[in-house]
A = this chain, B = another copy of it.
Amino acid sequence: MNDRCDPAEFGRIFRPRAIAVVGSARSQGDSQTVPHSFFFVMSLRNMHFEGPLYIVSRSGSPHPSLDEMVFPSLLDIPGPVDHAILCVPAAAVPGVLEQCAAKGVRSAAIFSSGFSESASAEGKRLEEAIRGIARRSSLRIIGPNCMGIYCPETGLNFRPDLPCAPGPVAMVSQSGGMAIRTIFQGVEKGLGFSKVVSYGNEVDVQSWELIDYLGWDEATRIILVYIEGTRDGRSLLRALKEAGRRKPVVVLKGGLSAEGTRAAMSHTGSLAGNEAVWQAMIRQARAHPVKDVNDLVDTAMTFCFLKRPAGKRIALMCISGGLVVNYTDLAVRSGFEVPAFDPSTQRGLEEIINEPGTSCSNPIDMASLFFNRRIYSPLFQVLNDDTNTDLILFIIAMEYVTALQMQYRVSLSGLVQAFLDIVSKVTKPFVAVIPPVVEEESRLEVERAFLKAGIPTFITMEGAMNALRARINDPREDPVRH
């Protein structure tokens, strides 16, 4: 095996001309459920995969609408097949892979589980058989025990309900569940994906190859990694380093604790290894470590939307004095500062934030001035020029916003629009924290308007601080989506 991936050759995996889904027309589990083969076919159809699509099933068609696509064996398919998706029982996998090799299939993704992760002798034997086939042929194998590839640009997909719009974010994930959650949460935060690979037990295609490739891939501007373990730490470190020189790499390590390691073992058969070793590797590669999927997505969003703040000094503002006192504590606890404004800022603010109940020092307590559209333009201008702060963070307390119609004669969409008009002129990095409190629908309306305008929004202060810390630590100045 080479220790570098050939981007041109590897890239072909993401552009198959024809795909075969190999799986029984009957479900492996509960007879009530729809068979997995049908699920994969629907996924590819919904993503508008353009090439020929075949189903290989000896037990007939998984659904009457698919009758024409069904063949009893891969070798019966008339045209070429570049990619195969296997959802047959584990014991049948080596046989199907032999057929793939004989047919000249380039890549196969194995959804089936029951291999080394099951800790059974039979599972390990089957996994060795798969590895042998990969060694003896040019077939590249993803998995087993994985979801395979999601690539909206070329129509590859593993779930019927995933979004069709592509974007700059790529993900290499040892877990299918983590990949799915990242895509869904990412879309909620305004992100699109270039390529997501769920690679499971890593029998042939290695995480480092995927990272290498994505480092070169022009459609990818940021790489997210969920990894439980590796057999080749040296290549992984090299790949992380090299990809990290070209684009930001964010890593969520699964199985850092001893108990998580045991769980990873029965999840993907991975030896998760020592926490300190992993942390050292991530640090050495200058990748950005995160603790959970919320931080993974929020960090990706922040890289996509925000230019780099020069430091950790926040200009903080909120409608409520009590909330902003606590938010200040949370910021400081996360290693940020909420310093006094410079004297000229302070003088400027005294002209703007000056009603009873407000406070114009940092953090700013806006009180009912929150509802006064006229202050936002001078307010942001003054904050934009402040030399003592590096970014502006606005807490939007929806429990006051929804009181709009009661006490103040402003519409929610009107206020949001006025606000965005002004914020678009701000050159200092700007983010919003919009916690879920009341009327989730209104909150999502505000959040989506902000995200659409390219403003990172978070639901917790800690989430904001974690993502901003990574953004500030990365030397790249511009948002990656530009």
Cα–Cα, bound, A368→B403 (Å): 44
The answer to the question of A407 belonging to the interface, with a C-beta cut-off of 8 Å to chain B, is yes
Which residues from chain B contact A113 at a C-beta distance below 8 Å?
356-357, 367
Min CB–CB distance A396 → chain B (angstroms): 12
The answer to the question of A402 belonging to the interface, with a C-beta cut-off of 8 Å to chain B, is yes
Decide if A184 touches B399 in the complex (CB within 8 Å).
Answer: yes
Cα–Cα, bound, A181→B293 (Å): 26
Tell me the residues in window 371-401 of chain A with beta carbons closer than 8 Å to chain B beta carbons.
371-372, 397, 399-400
Cα–Cα, bound, A359→B403 (Å): 49
Which residues from chain B contact A90 at a C-beta distance below 8 Å?
356
The answer to the question of A67 belonging to the interface, with a C-beta cut-off of 8 Å to chain B, is no
Stretch at the interface among A100-108, A333-341, A416-424: A333-341
Cα–Cα, bound, A400→B33 (Å): 14
The answer to the question of A302 belonging to the interface, with a C-beta cut-off of 8 Å to chain B, is no
Give the residue of B181, B292, B319 whose beta carbon is less than 8 angstroms from that of A399: B181
Closest to A180 in B: B399
**How many copies of this protein are present in the complex?**
2
Decide if B177 touches A330 in the complex (CB within 8 Å).
Answer: no
The answer to the question of A24 belonging to the interface, with a C-beta cut-off of 8 Å to chain B, is no
Give the residue of B161, B255, B361 whose beta carbon is less than 8 angstroms from that of A406: B161
- A34-B267 contact, Cβ under 8 Å, with A291-B330, A356-B114: no
Cα–Cα, bound, A319→B175 (Å): 12
Decide if B177 touches A329 in the complex (CB within 8 Å).
Answer: no
Which residues from chain B contact A223 at a C-beta distance below 8 Å?
none
Cα–Cα, bound, A178→B326 (Å): 9
Min CB–CB distance A85 → chain B (angstroms): 16
Decide if B145 touches A357 in the complex (CB within 8 Å).
Answer: yes
The answer to the question of A213 belonging to the interface, with a C-beta cut-off of 8 Å to chain B, is no
Decide if A322 touches B176 in the complex (CB within 8 Å).
Answer: yes
The answer to the question of A299 belonging to the interface, with a C-beta cut-off of 8 Å to chain B, is no
Give the residue of B181, B320, B355, B408 whose beta carbon is less than 8 angstroms from that of A175: B320
- A326-B260 contact, Cβ under 8 Å, with A29-B368, A355-B29: yes
- A175-B33 contact, Cβ under 8 Å, with A263-B338, A361-B266: no
Which residues from chain B contact A277 at a C-beta distance below 8 Å?
none
Min CB–CB distance A409 → chain B (angstroms): 5
Cα–Cα, bound, A177→B318 (Å): 10
The answer to the question of A294 belonging to the interface, with a C-beta cut-off of 8 Å to chain B, is yes
Tell me the residues in window 414-436 of chain A with beta carbons closer than 8 Å to chain B beta carbons.
435-436
Cα–Cα, bound, A459→B460 (Å): 12
Stretch at the interface among A11-19, A204-212, A235-243, A437-445: A437-445
Which residues from chain B contact A372 at a C-beta distance below 8 Å?
29-30
Decide if B257 touches A328 in the complex (CB within 8 Å).
Answer: yes
Min CB–CB distance A300 → chain B (angstroms): 15
Cα–Cα, bound, A174→B323 (Å): 11
Which residues from chain B contact A252 at a C-beta distance below 8 Å?
326
Give the residue of B29, B118, B258, B461 whose beta carbon is less than 8 angstroms from that of A369: B29
Cα–Cα, bound, A89→B440 (Å): 35
Min CB–CB distance A368 → chain B (angstroms): 5
Min CB–CB distance A443 → chain B (angstroms): 9
Top-4 shortest CB links A-B: A175-B322, A177-B320, A267-B321, A257-B332
**A-B contacts besides A263-B365, A292-B461, 15 pairs, CB < 8 Å:** A29-B369, A33-B407, A113-B357, A113-B367, A114-B357, A117-B359, A118-B356, A161-B406, A178-B322, A184-B438, A226-B322, A255-B329, A260-B325, A267-B359, A440-B440
Give 6 pairs: A residue, B residue, CB < 8 Å, sorted on A.
A112-B356, A176-B322, A259-B328, A262-B340, A263-B338, A267-B321
